[in-house]
């Protein structure tokens, strides 16, 4: 972790960019630009969170940890978001770990200064943070379902798409052991899954670098979780209604859930009625 000085006048982080000028100017004296390298810790399991981070470039990961020291990724955060939601929710620690996944820059702010800013904030700042918190919660929930229900190759494609969105370039460093940890599987399994995507001409992977060759094909190879999460982030953070794979899914009838062994499309249910 390297401290680089004061932030630029115009932040790249979408939360900060969404704020009225007066709100950002109240925050900016306490913001400091830092560079994070791969695996730099942002906050650790059970330890006090002393700073929040608004991501400018690169990708950060939130991982859930088990007592034997294993971990699996619960969410990724890029320039759309922040690390430190527990502080916003008025606590000082978390049972998860957050660290840098792809090197880049973030704007760091002392947790106490952030708490004061939130306490004195305008409704616009609280609205943006509330919407981001909901989007992050939804991403964690969808990741849990994805890790349980979907085949590894589709999950691998989903993870690569999410990372591709955040790095905003077609190539980025990626070690097989790291991807295996993110997906919660053995290294050999993730090498096989990535090999299948490479044989299909969707990616090119060599010597610890990932290159996205066919973005459209990778979206077809992914499970629907990528599109579901992206649609929710568009709605909550951008105010844009974009199609979701869940749009035509029948989830309830007469106040009763219909979700059991996969659900049905609403058109199928209407045909049976």
pLDDT attached to residue 8: 67
Do 36 and 90 belong to one domain? yes
Same domain, 174 and 160: yes
| pLDDT for position 273 | 38
Question: Which has the closest alpha carbon to 153: 100, 211, 202?
Answer: 202
Q: Do residues 6 and 106 both lie within one domain? A: yes
253's CB contacts (< 8 A; 6+ apart) are 269
The answer to whether residue 140 sits within a structural domain is yes
Q: Are 16 and 138 within one domain?
A: yes
Supply the Cα-derived Rg of the chain in whole angstroms.
Answer: 20
Q: Is residue 268 part of a domain?
A: no
Q: Do 167 and 137 have their domain in common?
A: no
Task: Assess whether 113 and 172 both reside in one domain.
Answer: no
Neighbours of 259 (CB within 10 A): 11
Q: How far apart are CA 265 and CA 270, in angstroms?
A: 9
In terms of domains, do 133 and 112 share one?
yes
What is the domain extent for residue 205?
151-222
Same domain flag for 170 and 200 = yes
The 3-state secondary structure of the chain, one letter per residue: CEEEECCCCCCCCHHHHCCCHHHHHHHHHHCEEEEECCCCEEECCCCCCCEEEEECCCEEEEEEECCCCCEEEEEEECCCCEECHHHHCCCCCCCEEEEEEECEEEEEEEHHHHHHHHHCCCHHHHHHHHHHHHHHHHHHHHHHHHHHHCCHHHHHHHHHHHHHHHHCCCEEECCHHHHHHHHCCCHHHHHHHHHHHHHCCCEEEECCEEEECCHHHHHHHCCCHHHHHHHHHHHHHHCCCCCCCCCCEECEECCEECCCCCCEEHHHHHHHC
CATH number for position 70: 2.60.120.10
pLDDT value at position 185?
Answer: 82
Residues 191, 176: one domain? yes
pLDDT of residue 262: 52
8 and 141 housed in the same domain: yes
User: Each residue's pLDDT tens digit in the chain (273 positions)?
Assistant: 776 677 766 888 999 988 888 888 888 999 999 999 999 999 999 999 999 999 999 999 999 998 998 888 889 999 999 999 999 999 999 999 999 989 999 999 999 999 998 887 777 888 999 999 999 999 999 999 998 899 999 999 999 999 999 888 899 888 877 788 778 788 888 888 989 999 999 999 887 889 999 999 999 999 999 999 999 999 998 888 888 988 888 888 888 888 875 545 544 443 443
182 shares a domain with 136: no
- pLDDT in the model for residue 9: 67
The answer to whether the Cα torsion of 169, 171, 174, 180 is positive or negative is positive
Long-range CB pairs of 201-210 (<8 Å, 24+ gap) are: 202/157, 203/160, 205/174, 208/173, 208/174, 208/175, 209/171, 209/172, 209/173, 209/174, 210/160, 210/171, 210/172, 210/173, 210/174
Here the CATH number for the domain that contains residue 170 is 1.10.10.10
Last residue of a domain, one of 222, 247, 262: 222
Longest dimension (CA), the chain: 64
Instruction: Tell me the C-alpha distance between 19 and 102, whole Å.
Output: 26
């Amino acid at each position: 972790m390297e401290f680089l000085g004061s932030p630029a006048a115009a932040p790249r982080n979408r939360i900060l960019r969404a704020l009225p000028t007066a709100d950002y100017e109240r925050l900016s004296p306490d913001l400091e630009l830092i560079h994070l390298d791969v695996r730099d810790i942002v906050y650790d399991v059970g330890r006090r969170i002393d700073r929040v981070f608004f991501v400018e470039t690169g990708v950060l990961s939130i991982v859930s940890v088990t007592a034997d020291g294993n971990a699996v990724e619960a969410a990724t955060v890029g320039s759309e978001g922040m690390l430190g939601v527990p502080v916003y929710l008025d606590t000082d620690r978390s049972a998860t770990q957050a660290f840098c996944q792809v090197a880049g820059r973030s704007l760091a702010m002392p947790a106490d200064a952030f708490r004061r800013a939130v306490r004195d904030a305008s409704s616009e700042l609280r609205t943006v943070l509330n919407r981001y918190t909901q989007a992050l919660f939804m991403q964690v929930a969808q990741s849990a379902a994805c890790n349980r229900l979907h085949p590894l190759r589709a999950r691998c494609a989903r993870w690569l798409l999410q990372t591709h969105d955040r790095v905003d370039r077609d190539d980025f460093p990626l070690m097989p052991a790291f991807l295996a940890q993110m997906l919660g599987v053995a290294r050999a399994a993730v090498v096989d899954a990535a090999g299948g995507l490479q044989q299909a001409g969707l990616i090119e992977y060599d010597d610890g670098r990932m290159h996205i060759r066919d973005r459209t094909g990778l979206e077809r190879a992914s499970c629907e979780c990528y599109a579901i999460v992206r649609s929710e982030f568009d709605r909550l953070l951008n105010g844009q209604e974009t199609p979701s794979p869940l749009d035509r899914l029948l989830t309830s009838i007469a106040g009763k859930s219909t979700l059991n062994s996969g659900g049905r499309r609403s058109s199928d249910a209407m045909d049976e009625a």
